[in-house]
Amino acid sequence: MVNLALGAMEYGTRIDEQTSFRLLDAYVDAGGEWIDTANCYAFWQDPTGHGGQSEELLGRWFAQRPGVRDRVKLATKVGCEPLWPGSWPEHTEGLSSKAIDAALETSLRRLGVDHIDLYWAHRDDRSTPLEETVAAFGKHAAAGTIGRLGLSNYALWRVERMRGLAAELGVMGPSALQLRYSYLQPRPLVRDHAHDHRFGWITDEVLDYAQHNPEQQLFAYSPLMSGAYENRPDRPVHEAFDHPGTTRRLQVLTDLATELGTTRSELVLAWLTGGSPAITPIVGASTPQYLTTALTGTQLDLTPEQREQLDEVW
């Protein structure tokens, strides 16, 4: 199995069904295992202003591919579906017991499955008591409809508080974290402006936490920064990354990629998956070429010297 999750965020909206099916088939045939989506994907692409299109497409794909469900691990999310069109991010479903119950039932129906391998809390809901959220997830884990619980875009102190509450209640706690991460690093204190989620970035503290809590699997979204590593004029590096460290890191990436006969994007994925702790990148491949890049990068082994060459650049 490859250490990669296929992001299906825009499958069924921007990416049409035929293309989506072809990419999903190729991913599984290549040994891909994780497929990542959310109940709110992709509300911003659909005229209704609500999500669910990605889950529905995956449900049709499963229905037309008997046996494929047993070959993959399925992850979806709850918490960010807009309450009404245009209400995101201020007004979303949240993580109350009632919201989780309803969202999980809907996701299972759309996907045509009886369980979710990894169910993500899409972002923290500070308006709901944490005990209520933990108990709700625990109830569904005990019922077998959730295999694992993950937290996305959470502050670490909230992660630990949830783990403590889960232990007190005797229910399943979180065993995965999903945040944004890549080889380039933004300037400090600009993440709120560069990203949608205040705590949505893997920091040194998160890396240290995962390294000393190996039961916590790290997933990284937007690892290739929407094509910014490939010098695409339509996909520039965000201004939050405009600092001397970015210039130096891009140069090292270019030099090493040239030496290895690979691309900068493939090199970034190799750096992510082969480090300590190892990180599972979530790549939203929209074309066969991008999927090939993702698969090739995650199977590229870097020597300790090559990794040091990348790591020593600040």
Q: What is the pLDDT of residues 46-73, one digit of tens each?
A: 999 999 999 999 999 999 999 999 999 9
For residue 104, count CB atoms less than 10 angstroms from its CB and return exposed for 0-12, middle for 13-18, buried for 19 or more: buried
What is the percent of the chain where pLDDT is above 70?
98
Whether 41 sits among the annotated catalytic residues: the reply is yes
| Number of residues in the chain | 314
* Residue 312 token pair: 């020593």
Domains of the chain, residue spans = 5-311
According to the model, what pLDDT value does residue 189 have?
Answer: 72
Q: Which of 11, 41, 181, 209 is catalytic?
A: 41
How far is it, in rounded angstroms, from Cα 263 to Cα 274?
Answer: 16
pTM comes to 0.95
**N-terminal to C-terminal alpha carbon distance within the chain:** 32
In this structure, is the dihedral angle defined by the CA atoms of residues 25, 27, 31 and 36, taken in order, positive or negative?
negative
- Domain 5-311 bears CATH identifier 3.20.20.100: yes
Inform me whether the pLDDT recorded for 162 exceeds 90.
Answer: yes
pLDDT category of residue 77 using cuts at 50, 70 and 90? very high
* Residue 1 token pair: 């199995």
How far is it, in rounded angstroms, from Cα 114 to Cα 145?
Answer: 6
pLDDT category of residue 191 using cuts at 50, 70 and 90? low
How far is it, in rounded angstroms, from Cα 261 to Cα 241?
Answer: 26
CA 106 to chain centroid: 21
Segment 38-46 mean pLDDT: 98
Inform me whether the pLDDT recorded for 193 exceeds 80.
Answer: no
Neighbours of 263 (CB within 10 A): 18
According to the model, what pLDDT value does residue 196 have?
Answer: 66
pLDDT category of residue 112 using cuts at 50, 70 and 90? very high
pLDDT digits (tens, 9 = 90+) for 195-248: 568 888 999 999 999 999 999 999 999 999 988 998 878 888 888 888 999 999
Q: For 96-100, 153-157, 193-197, which range has the lowest pLDDT when averaged over its residues?
A: 193-197
Residues 6+ apart with CB under 8 A from 197: 123, 152, 153, 180
pLDDT category of residue 37 using cuts at 50, 70 and 90? very high
Q: Which residues of 285-312 are buried (b: 16+ CB within 10 A; e: fewer)?
A: bbeeebbebbbbbbbbebeeebbebbee
Inform me whether the pLDDT recorded for 192 exceeds 60.
Answer: no
According to the model, what pLDDT value does residue 199 have?
Answer: 87
